[in-house]
Amino acid sequence: MNTKGTFVISLDFELFWGVRDKRRIEDYASALAKVHELIPDMLELFRDYGVKATFSTVGLLFAKDKEEMLKYCPDLKPNYEDTNLSPYTDGFVQVKENSVEDPYHFALPLIQLIRDKYPEHEIGTHTFSHYYCHEAGQTLEEFKADLASAIEIAKAKEIELFSLVFPRNQFNPEYLEVCREMGILTFRGNENAWYYAPDSKEGTSLKKKIYRTLDCYINISGHNSYNLSDLNSEKPYNIPSSRFFRPYMAMGGGALEYLKLRRIKRSMTHASKNNLLYHLWWHPHNFGQNTKRNMNTLKSILEHYKKLNLRYGFSSSTMLDCATILEGIVNNSER
């Protein structure tokens, strides 16, 4: 089965649940609150350019209020050695009653907006509690309980989950059988370079972080674009990352932004010319600071996608769409 090149965007939609062990709300409140304005703007921009996305969403964000949040929490919780990693440690003391009072921990109105007004997009899962699959202390059974809660609360909002993004990119192959059992069809794997290998918080060295940062601006690891036919043929299918869309860095200014954009566009062009998959990802809250500059860069990327779409047939797909393509490839190869 021959396919044209495929452009995939996945968004790690997590709000404060994804940064709670690294930041204080009062220091990052404005960026988090702005997500409630940013996502509607992104949705309109995506539609203008005919682009789909997978919104991999933390399950806790589906709750309409604190009472419902507590209702869906699993009985079996992650037992991290570093207790600061668990959102359950403080008993949700920072969480207020609902999304009106607390824009940092709730996002049901945004989830419903995507579901009802922008059905071309996919709502996937980022686990229920922003679960870390490589941290010491947690177990496979705890992960299974967490994923079950994510599926249950999404189902209550009339959403079925098929795609998973592992928080902090802590992809753990030992956990894929659980994903398969629970109906997950795709996940986002990591780039092949050694410095992208999944690891715990402590295991992610400064050297790895430096290489990852440099690779966003200079082509160190290659284009990281993939032939769908060469990806794994078993569910859940790996739809690996190509590039993290690093937010604007004021220190580097326009020079770094130019290098970042050139790096992304060149790899998109390579993928489109060679009928490969290119997978770009970021967190919505990354755009909460320097918002105008980040949105302008995104618009430039989408404009480039449109040119490649018209010239080479480069198409936009959700992670779930890729599963459908892979199903066709697998079925044809078995004939």
195, pLDDT greater than 60: yes
- Count of domains observed in the chain: 1
Q: Domain range holding 41?
A: 6-333
Proportion of the chain above pLDDT 70, given as a percent: 97
Residue 202: predicted pLDDT: 78
CA distance 300 to 18: 27
Question: Each residue of 289-312: pLDDT tens digit?
Answer: 999 999 999 999 999 999 999 999
253, pLDDT greater than 80: no
Residue 267 in any domain: the answer is: yes
Torsion angle of alpha carbons 227, 230, 236, 241, nearest 10°? -40
Residue 152 in any domain: the answer is: yes
Partners of 8 in beta bridges: 279, 317
What one-character DSSP code corresponds to residue 98?
A: B
Which residues are CB-contacts of 184 (< 8 A; sequence separation ≥ 6)? 125, 147, 161, 162, 163, 164, 235, 236
Q: What are phi and psi of 279, to 5 degrees?
A: -125, 110
Proportion of the chain above pLDDT 90, given as a percent: 86
1, pLDDT greater than 70: no
Residue 123: predicted pLDDT: 98
Distance (Å) of CA 79 to CA 20, 86, 91, 138, 174: 17, 8, 14, 5, 18
Burial grade of 254 (CB within 10 A; 0-12, 13-18, 19 or more): exposed
Let me know: does 27 contact 72? Beta carbons within 8 Å.
no
Burial grade of 66 (CB within 10 A; 0-12, 13-18, 19 or more): middle
The pTM (predicted TM-score) of the whole model is: 0.95
229, pLDDT greater than 90: no
159, pLDDT greater than 80: yes
CATH code for position 316? 3.20.20.370
- Identify the band that residue 335 occupies on the pLDDT scale cut at 50, 70 and 90: very low
Residue 227 in any domain: the answer is: yes
- Identify the band that residue 182 occupies on the pLDDT scale cut at 50, 70 and 90: very high
Question: Each residue of 83-110: pLDDT tens digit?
Answer: 999 999 988 999 999 999 999 999 999 9
- Identify the band that residue 332 occupies on the pLDDT scale cut at 50, 70 and 90: low
2, pLDDT greater than 50: no
37, pLDDT greater than 70: yes
Distance (Å) of CA 293 to CA 5, 252, 257, 281: 28, 13, 9, 17
Residue 1 in any domain: the answer is: no
Residue 331: predicted pLDDT: 59
Residue 175: predicted pLDDT: 96
Residue 281 in any domain: the answer is: yes
- Identify the band that residue 275 occupies on the pLDDT scale cut at 50, 70 and 90: very high
Pairing label, strands 6-13, 315-317: parallel
CA distance 49 to 47: 5
